[in-house]
Structure formats: structure tokens, C-alpha cells
Amino acid sequence: FAETLEHLAQHRLLHHITTTAASGTTLDEALQSAVNGLQVTLGGDRVSILLADREKKLLEVKAAVGYAPDVYNLKVPVETGITGWAAAHRRTLRVNNVQEDTRYIEASSNSRSEMAIPLIYRSELLGVLNVESEQPGAYTESDEELLGTLGGSLAAIIANARLLEQIRAQAERERVLFEITDKIRRTTDVETILTTTVSELTRATGANRAKIKIGLKAKEMGQVIEGKE
């Protein structure tokens, strides 16, 4: 009975972690909320979330708690280290003593146990949830099952947060385009229209220079309107 109560309590905590992470306004906020909540649940362990860069085939630390600040500089090639192995094989890896595992990449000299859970959403590897403890053999099969469930929820949160960021970016582009179009419509002079277009596009895209070329091939005439920031 006591074990059942403990299991229910853990599930409540994980539900709390998931809902808190899902309420984050940005992906970074969501990930940091998740690692903070999980550290409390696990009783002070080190927790990190690494996101996968598919082009570079790297795992990059995006949220962490319990580590030195330079952990954010850590970039792990897929297949390298315990987290890289979990990512490459898309399987949870639980290590009872990292000091005896040649795959271990030291992020903290006091760590003894580690568990890495791949974050997969609709067959796409998004990253790895990683936990470390100073106690050897700290993680059990029950912990693996529990964190596996959390990993599935986190993967969905990451995917949804990225989609939301894309929607926000698209909305911002449309807003800028509307402003540019509105300014152009209020102008009747062609040269002013072109100059305004170049200037606004340069500002909106963050470019150093933009150019519109106008040519009338038959008359061998041409004009270049440039804009700079």
C-alpha cells in the first residue's frame, strides 16, 4: 500500500511538472521549468535537457539544473557519451556507476549514476532528458518507467512549442509585410515607393543592404534603388 501511495505521489509530481512546462511562453521557459521541477521530484539530482541538431548531428544542452554554468557549452556528438548513445539507439540507458562506463562524459566529478531518456515525437528524435546522481545505482526500473512517461510528454511539449514559435514568427512576418504594404499604398511617387520598399525590407530582414533593379531592355535603360542600414 505504501508503495502504491508513493507511486501515485510520483505521478502527481510528474503531472505537475508537465503542466508547468506546458504553460511556458517560450521553449526555453518550458524546458527550464521541467528540469527545475524534476530536480525537486528526484531530491536534488542533476537534470538536463539536450536538444538534437539534426544537421550537425549534435546534442546541445538547452536547460539544466545542478551543474556548473559552463554545462551550456557542452555539445555532444550523437553516439558519443551516455546521452549520445541513448539518442543514437533511441533507447533509455541506465548506468549504475558512470565511473566504470567508458561512454561517460564528465559534466560533474561527483556523479555516480546516470540515466538518459531519448525524447521522441512522431518518430523524430528531438533530444535527450538526462539525470545524474551522486549515489551509485540510484535509478531503478520504476524510475526508468516514470521518466520514460515524462519524456514522452516533454517531447510533445517541445514539438508544440516549436510549432507555436513558427506560428508567431509567421504572424510577425505578416505584420511587417502589412506595414510595408500600407506605407507603399500611401505613396504615389514611384521612386519614393521603391525607396520605401528597400528601406523597410532592409529593416525587417536585418540585412545590411537591399537592392531593387529596374531595367527596360529594349531601350537599354536601367535604374538601381539601394538601401542601407
**Can you spell out the DSSP letters for 102-126?**
TT---S-TT--EEEEEEEEETTEEE
φ/ψ (deg, to 5) at 54: -65, -35
Range 2-163 classified under CATH 3.30.450.40: yes
Q: How many CA atoms lie within 13 A of 162 on its CB side?
A: 9
Which of the four pLDDT bands, split at 50, 70 and 90, describes residue 11? low
What's the pLDDT score for residue 42? 83
Which of the four pLDDT bands, split at 50, 70 and 90, describes residue 228? low
What's the pLDDT score for residue 221? 39
What is the radius of gyration, based on Cα positions, of the chain? Answer: 25
pLDDT at 4 over 70: no
Domain with CATH 3.30.450.40 in the chain: 2-163
Q: What one-letter code names the amino acid at 87? A: A
Provide the CA 198 distance to its chain's centre, in angstroms: 34
What's the pLDDT score for residue 7? 55
CA distance 199 to 52: 37
Buried b (16+ CB within 10 A) or exposed e, 128-151: bbbbbbeeeebbeeebeebbebbb
CA distance 25 to 144: 29
Pair type for strands 46-53 and 58-65:
antiparallel
**Mean pLDDT, rounded, for 122-132:** 96
